[in-house]
Structure 1
């Protein structure tokens, strides 16, 4: 029997080995999901909403143990993990409300002998692939609207963090959601991706992860013309205007950049500061970042946990070395990181100045606690730098001038923008990107739309 070894990124210790599913077992799970769709899709919306609320309630009741699971397999500080569990539950709360608000409409007919009606129905079986950095929230952000709409749901969680998803689905079943209506499968990504995209049962694929993998899933989904929602890579700029409240900008930069050790898709990756306030901002940023504690996520005072694995760690170190080689200065931290003797990988909060556009760190997403700072003179220069990327997920800017703020909003090509706000996410708002950062939106009223089909009925022969 093939197993997946789940290890603690803090020290490499084995947490648990979980059995991997065979291709035949995955096909059988897809068959069951398709069969369950017939009954789940006909379950009334109020019942589906109540079951989602029960699931959310069980998640909140088990917040402490779930947070510990997240921290042990993901590495993020326990306080952040607890916040993620609450965040995950909030998606179920939100879509319990949306389940009973899937409306149809009537359309005035050009003929008195006709009536025209529009209704909505669930897409079908939904297959989800989720990442390791938010193993709870990324799951419920997809499962919530899918189940609310009347779809059945099957998830392939990341190999690094399957235990959180397994426990969440156990709680879903405990809440009363039918076992075949919400399932998980465990196997290597390419195998599951092919089975999901090649299955005639699966009518929608939803994925959070790299743009490269997202493009592959989209290509493979084309053969059966599946619906797709893709939340892909980002390279978020953070612009500090001349009139910004620097203390607030620093606080929000810290919140954005160092959450989950910088391992989020909407982390501020490029900090662009007006040259007149660059020195003051950088000094304040250094002082604030220097206070952050790096260590075990299970320790109460930890702010920054380990990097998820060696591959992620080495990418950060390569970017730092490239920046230094090309003239950047490390004013906080170092270019070496800490390769722990016990198997963990840690990077101290790091601030770079003298950063230029030819450096890799300004072109590629950095999944780590590193802040590259560059300067600009004119606002249009900052906008040009910010938009000079194939990605368009999240952007941030800080200004107290409404004219500057609206100008930045209108000219930044990003799906999510924080104005004086480094933490714009929430179950009640649409999350998604432009350009190569994805297709579709998750969260908010928009989040249930991709799980619904529109059906139009024209009734003739009336008098």
Structure 2
């Protein structure tokens, strides 16, 4: 028997599958060709969603509705006060529907119910923060251009935004984008992942209830081809914001290039935590375990590799293995569960292939390394896995596994630690553990990452910008920077009086 902490299936009745449709121009619509698709719960292996399957026609109709809604000013020209009021009403409605949204997210994504509730609570906070920003959109004035000139810099909404969101945090990530777009005055077309579409549809219901004008937000269900392809190439779209894999992000940049629309990307990560000998190991080990198993490791910020000083590497590894055995894996509808199901059989096979590849290359599995059977459930689960003896050339050290798999590397000097941390092509986040503030600051300045945590991992605040460098993306979400992504700068130069000297002199 496995020496792990497992949570068997609860005797819980599952709801009938949700039946969902597109939101286009303020109306709920099926697909013109009648096509649909199903989503099976990754934990319970039953159908939980039947959705209209969008095509090019639906994507084009949604873009047309968003374009019209932006151009006629029904949202782009209203006051910041009005925008803020609506966003605050949406936040209150999200709070009201928290349990419903969380339960749907569990069924479609496989994540634990306690985590889903916390994410929905965090999403409501993002809508409230964006509401605060809606009343602060302001440019600049320049009165030092000469006695007869006044310069004004305006900040205006960029226009129609295509918002493409992933399956791992479906409600939270749409809430990292959409309220900021709305605060800026943009209109939007949203495509949620085909694996987790329903919570975005619930959000559409709440937007209507809150009083958002028709056409300002449109939701098209379906697959990247053709829906996402239309959303990234149509010239009526002014901006694309996407969260997902680096490979798809690169394809979006290429697809958007002919129309030179703005592209904002939050992509993959291979995020290191560096542990120095003077670190508080109790805190560090707990954060390592949290960082790699949170959301079953299906997280762009996953702390999927640790870089440990050689003097303490064995101690840290043993403690991580021991604590990993106590993390509750199993039925995501149980309050005790901390790690739920893997999103799909194909993804589970990919995770396992990375582990097998590491072993073939000479690494050692200290814990896990195989699929996990949870009593009473037919879905896909993967064991908590710790792989030691990893070297920088191994795929498991360089590529995004996106599962509950920790790689352990070692170092001797600060320079070596920084080199290992920066060796992957990604640059989303990094962490450092030391009681010496100089060590922490030196590492933070040298790490090539959009976020660096010191003596903590994966804390997040609406006020703090989030995004990566290199192959982890471009642009930022959250904070004031998240609003700025959806704004365009316009210069207005005004001559005061008729003081301009003629260019052509007449007699």
The TM-score range, normalised by the shorter chain, is over 0.9
CA distance in 1, matches of 2:269, 2:288: 16
Partner-residue secondary structure (3-state), 1:153: strand
Partner-residue secondary structure (3-state), 2:328: coil
Which of 112, 127, 134 pairs up with 1:92? 127
Give the TM-score normalised by structure 2: 0.89
Count, aligned residues:
463
Matches within 5 A, 1:51-200: 51-200=86-235
Matches within 5 A, 1:404-443: 404-443=439-478
CA distance in 2, matches of 1:77, 1:357: 33
2:339 corresponds to: 304
Is the 2:352–2:369 contact (alpha carbons within 8 Å) kept by the matching residues of 1?
no
CA distance in 2, matches of 1:364, 1:22: 32
Is the 1:321–1:335 contact (alpha carbons within 8 Å) kept by the matching residues of 2?
no
1:11 corresponds to: 44
Is the 2:291–2:304 contact (alpha carbons within 8 Å) kept by the matching residues of 1?
no
Report whether the alignment pairs 1:395 with 2:423.
no
**1:151 deviation in Å?**
0.3
CA distance in 2, matches of 1:336, 1:185: 34
Provide structure 2 residue ranges, at least 5 long, that are not aligned to the other structure.
1-33, 500-507
Matches within 5 A, 1:366-385: 366-385=401-420
1:281 corresponds to: 316
Deviations 1:323-357 (A, max 9, x none): 12222222222345559996521111111211122
1:362 corresponds to: 397
Is the 2:331–2:377 contact (alpha carbons within 8 Å) kept by the matching residues of 1?
no
Which of 385, 393, 403 pairs up with 1:350? 385
Report whether the alignment pairs 1:333 with 2:373.
no
CA distance in 2, matches of 1:160, 1:22: 16
Shift of the 117–334 alpha-carbon distance from structure 1 to 2, 3 Å rule, reads closer
Matches within 5 A, 1:236-247: 236-247=271-282
1:452 corresponds to: 487
1:264 corresponds to: 299
1:220 corresponds to: 255
Which of 29, 51, 67 pairs up with 2:62? 29
Give the TM-score normalised by structure 1: 0.97
**1:198 deviation in Å?**
2.2
CA distance in 2, matches of 1:370, 1:197: 33
**1:419 deviation in Å?**
0.6
CA distance in 2, matches of 1:136, 1:262: 18
Partner-residue secondary structure (3-state), 2:227: helix
Provide structure 1 residue ranges, at least 5 long, that are not aligned to the other structure.
none
**1:204 deviation in Å?**
0.6
Deviations 1:219-238 (A, max 9, x none): 11111111111001111011
1:204 corresponds to: 239
CA distance in 1, matches of 2:371, 2:221: 35
